[in-house]
Structure 1
Amino acid sequence: MASDEADVLIIGAGLSGLIAARTVLAAGFTPLILEADTRVGGRILTEDLAGLPMELGAQWIGDTHHRMFALAAELGVETYQQYDEGETSYELAGTGVLRGNDFHDRFGDELAELETVLRRLDELSAEVSPATPWTAPHAAEWDAITAGAWYDAQGLSPVARTLLEICTVGILAVPTVEVSFLHLLFTIQTCGVTAELFAESEGGAQTTRFVGGTAEIPQRLAALVTDHLVFDAPVQLIEHGTDSVTVHCRGGRTARGRRVIVALSPMLAGRIMYDPPLSGYRDQLTQRMPNSAAMKAFFVYDEPFWRTEGLNGQLISDIGPARMSNDTCVPGDGHGVILLFLEGEQARTHTHWSEAERREALTTELVRHFGDRAAKPLHYIDGEWGNRQWTRGCYNANCGPLVWTTYGPALAEPIGLIHWASTDTATQWSAYMEGAVESGERAAAEVIAALT
């Protein structure tokens, strides 16, 4: 039976946990990270496919993700711009497949309606404090309805409403009928404005990628705290008193510290036992913040043939199975790579299919949008997050109706010697890597202040 001692115990070696550990160590205190899995990164996962890094988890940062740019520079991880030249292929509300200019020419009026709704969302979200969204002047009203219900009330055309749904699900990874309107406004406010949240070009959240794969970030962070990192240590119980905490892991390992940072999504944090038990208020919150559902599928071709045809590799479709795609070719390599997203209901449905069935259905979709050459990939890989034991969903946790206004204060507020960190608790770019870094820094600052 192994027993360890440290100033600060950290549960989880995702990005927020690693950032917290590094910050604590730099302040002169001893951290100990207990990771249930056999790898670092959490919701960051890069796998090799024929020598190419495939990002089954987090992949991009955006122009205003200043913490992530600084972190990459510090760790020596180079970045490059997301390819975005050419037209997008659309397939919405029975239109058939239309390419960018044709789609915009045909539905210009509908897209103007959509732009009006986005500007209205910006105006309303400006009333929401990212730190205390439940205090917004209209919080009770907004938290009592879903984002989908608010969208439906805007009188949008079928094309505009469908496009808005797909873009929103692409961020939240759940249908808009499952998310409160207040939570949507909170998400927009933590990310600035809708232009930064929804755009994939300049100013958006998906403009930049990492040379060698996103996993370079957590792996290099882990190398800085490798003497303070334990793998295969799922935490089952946290005993907390007035001056110390004792953490019990499966297999008999225990660790004792002066403080503990639980760097897990709220739902996973709620699966740990606590002695004495946490309040029902906190537990009710974690029951109501499930992780969302997402799957990514990659097709590798001999070359990016769509580029020579004036396409950017992006599709937006309400037929599916995938709702969106991206060109994710690696600079300096001649292969063509297209990434397809299955989010929300698509991920929940197609995780029950065999890999061969998913590949066949997605190939059919790619052929509709990019032609017959799409039917002959060299390689294929996909990955869904709900089945991963130590994650149980991706990209983030969402609040349904009445969660923020009823339980919001319990999300990040420390309980005695227990502190909380994960991108889901962030007040800037919540649900993104940028938010994970912010939450790790915030939790570490709380602990350092308390210990000092």
Structure 2
Amino acid sequence: MNTPPTRQADVVIVGAGLAGLTAADQLSRAGHDVVVIEGRDRVGGRIHTVEVAGVPVDAGATWVAPHHVAVRDLVSRFGCEFVPQFHQGKGVMSFGGKRKIESATSMAPWGMLDITRILNDLQKMVDDLPVSAPWEHPQAAQLDSMSLGEWLTAKHALKDTRKFLTMFSLVQWGAPVSDVSLFNALRYIKNLGGIEFMLTVEGGDQQDRVLGTTHSLVSKLADTLEDRVIVNSPVERITTVGDRVTVETGRHTIEARYVIVTASPTHRSTIKFTPALPQRHYGLSRSWRLGALSKAFVAYDRPFWRNEGLSGEGMSDNETVFLTFDVSPSADGPGILMVFCDARGFDAYDEDERRRRVVKHLVHMFGERARHAVDYTDFSWGNDVFAAGGPNPAVGPKAWTTFGPYLREPVGLVHWAGSETADETSGSMNGAMLSGRRAASEVAARLDAGQ
């Protein structure tokens, strides 16, 4: 008597992040009946808003690059606006506890030469790598046999070079260089447009933010689907019988012709598939683990660092804080620093200790005025209750060449999406949208063919 009623649809989409909502939007506008099932009590996935000093800020995905056309089209569609990432002034660097203002002499000449050498060598390998079916590259097995850290050791990278690449690895994959395959790093860099682009604000990967937050954009997209989006309903089972697939949660049962799963590869394993997925798909779930990245937001009356000629950008090898940006709404205040935190020196502590550690290092970076914060908040993706981890998979050695071919290979009536599956701008909001479009097109073709 307590069995939930069965709902009918053409396509069920698991996950109401940007990939899932994009797929649902495309299929719905093509005349197909869709239902989106989301386990969290909100839409957005790894796009999430928190508030500090009364200002909404992005705890998850934040930036939009100039060539992120899919996101820019969505912003235009809903009449939203962009705000440029604040970038005026000098940055602050701190390695080994020594603080320096960014300048031509902020790092020893041999240090800069070595960083340039290593980045150039990486980029040369990136240029020859295909983004589609990268495992077919003639050197794929060799490049995938070592971690990025092991490669740096083999290249005799200097200590500061290794620290710089560690920061780069933490912000991209939420993991140190020792945990990430060299091959994964190369493919990801190629996918996003190159190292220089990834490190650039104006004209690069961190150029713009959505005015308000990116979650406001996702909410507008979800609103167009009305009651076809169901939240707070984790999918427990997906069963295929003949030409129909049934998706079950504790509260809902939906029968459809196809399903698109947008959960990250590691979280696909939380769903019981009947019949079981091929074994290598489970190997993919085990090896394609997500990293862990945390953000803190510290608010002040005003962005005082601007008066000192500083941009609010900071780079550090501190065990807690490794990167900062100014996300203040205006020069009049409040001043807000967005702080990227290494989960290994952050997630295990309670909020008071996390705040103490963050503020202490901001005082080191930006001076005594940084001690007088008016508000603080943070978000640890590694401690997320529903689907821990982020921002991207920290794919270890040999995982790409072993399991990469199964990342988005359909299994019967089950198709896959999610930013990780994109061949272009993977790991970004734009990549998520492109993956949703690709999966929707795959399913639409089968629906239109009457399969």
TM norm. shorter chain > 0.5: yes
AA partner of residue 171 (structure 1): Q
Aligned counterparts of 1:71 and 1:333: Cα–Cα separation in 2: 30
Preserved contact between residue 247 and residue 256 of structure 1 (Cα < 8 Å): yes
Q: 1:15 to 1:333 in 2, by over 3 A?
A: farther
TM-score normalised over the length of structure 2: 0.96
Greater mean alpha carbon deviation, residues 117-126 or residues 3-12: 117-126
Aligned counterparts of 2:105 and 2:350: Cα–Cα separation in 1: 34
Compute the displacement of 1:103 (Å).
Answer: 4.4
Aligned counterparts of 1:393 and 1:445: Cα–Cα separation in 2: 28
Cα deviation digits, residues 46-104 of structure 1 (max 9, x gap): 12333201211111111221211111111211001000111111111x36101101643
Preserved contact between residue 195 and residue 203 of structure 1 (Cα < 8 Å): no
Q: Percent identity?
A: 34
Aligned counterparts of 2:123 and 2:70: Cα–Cα separation in 1: 23
Aligned counterparts of 2:97 and 2:318: Cα–Cα separation in 1: 11
Greater mean alpha carbon deviation, residues 427-436 or residues 123-132: 123-132
Compute the displacement of 1:332 (Å).
Answer: 7.3
Matched, 1:56 2:56: no
In the other structure, the counterpart of 2:165 is: 164
Preserved contact between residue 19 and residue 432 of structure 2 (Cα < 8 Å): yes
In the other structure, the counterpart of 1:140 is: 141
Matched, 1:4 2:3: no
Cα deviation digits, residues 158-203 of structure 1 (max 9, x gap): 222211221222111111111111100110111111111222x223
Aligned counterparts of 1:289 and 1:316: Cα–Cα separation in 2: 28
Matched, 1:85 2:88: yes
Aligned counterparts of 2:25 and 2:109: Cα–Cα separation in 1: 50
User: Which among 382, 401, 406 is matched to residue 405 of structure 1?
Assistant: 401
Aligned counterparts of 1:103 and 1:70: Cα–Cα separation in 2: 42
For structure 2, the residue ranges without an aligned partner over 5 or more in a row are none
Preserved contact between residue 242 and residue 417 of structure 1 (Cα < 8 Å): no
AA partner of residue 26 (structure 2): T
In the other structure, the counterpart of 2:118 is: 117
Aligned counterparts of 1:10 and 1:154: Cα–Cα separation in 2: 45
In the other structure, the counterpart of 2:178 is: 177
Compute the displacement of 1:232 (Å).
Answer: 1.4
Greater mean alpha carbon deviation, residues 346-355 or residues 39-48: 346-355
In the other structure, the counterpart of 2:267 is: 268
User: Which among 360, 364, 385 is matched to residue 360 of structure 2?
Assistant: 364
In the other structure, the counterpart of 1:206 is: 206
How big is the alpha-carbon RMSD for the aligned residues of Structure 1 and Structure 2? 1.4
Matched, 1:433 2:429: yes
Residues 43-442 of structure 1 aligned to structure 2 (within 5 Å): 43-92=46-95, 94=96, 96-101=98-103, 103-104=105-106, 106-199=107-200, 201-251=201-251, 253-331=252-330, 334-342=333-341, 346-442=342-438
AA partner of residue 409 (structure 2): E
Preserved contact between residue 320 and residue 344 of structure 2 (Cα < 8 Å): no
Preserved contact between residue 315 and residue 369 of structure 1 (Cα < 8 Å): yes
Compute the displacement of 1:333 (Å).
Answer: 5.5
Preserved contact between residue 144 and residue 401 of structure 2 (Cα < 8 Å): yes
Aligned counterparts of 1:270 and 1:11: Cα–Cα separation in 2: 13
Preserved contact between residue 110 and residue 156 of structure 1 (Cα < 8 Å): no
Aligned counterparts of 2:171 and 2:52: Cα–Cα separation in 1: 24
AA partner of residue 157 (structure 2): L
AA partner of residue 150 (structure 1): W
Structure 1 residue ranges (4+ consecutive) displaced by more than 3 angstroms after TM superposition: none
In the other structure, the counterpart of 2:24 is: 21
For structure 1, the residue ranges without an aligned partner over 5 or more in a row are none
AA partner of residue 67 (structure 1): A
Preserved contact between residue 64 and residue 203 of structure 1 (Cα < 8 Å): no
TM-score normalised over the length of structure 1: 0.96
Aligned counterparts of 1:197 and 1:7: Cα–Cα separation in 2: 39
AA partner of residue 48 (structure 2): L
Compute the displacement of 1:424 (Å).
Answer: 1.0
Preserved contact between residue 52 and residue 297 of structure 2 (Cα < 8 Å): no
Figure out how many residues of one structure are paired with residues of the other and give that number.
445
Q: Classify the secondary structure of the residue corresponding to 1:137.
A: coil
Q: Classify the secondary structure of the residue corresponding to 2:383.
A: coil
Preserved contact between residue 32 and residue 230 of structure 1 (Cα < 8 Å): yes
Compute the displacement of 1:391 (Å).
Answer: 2.2
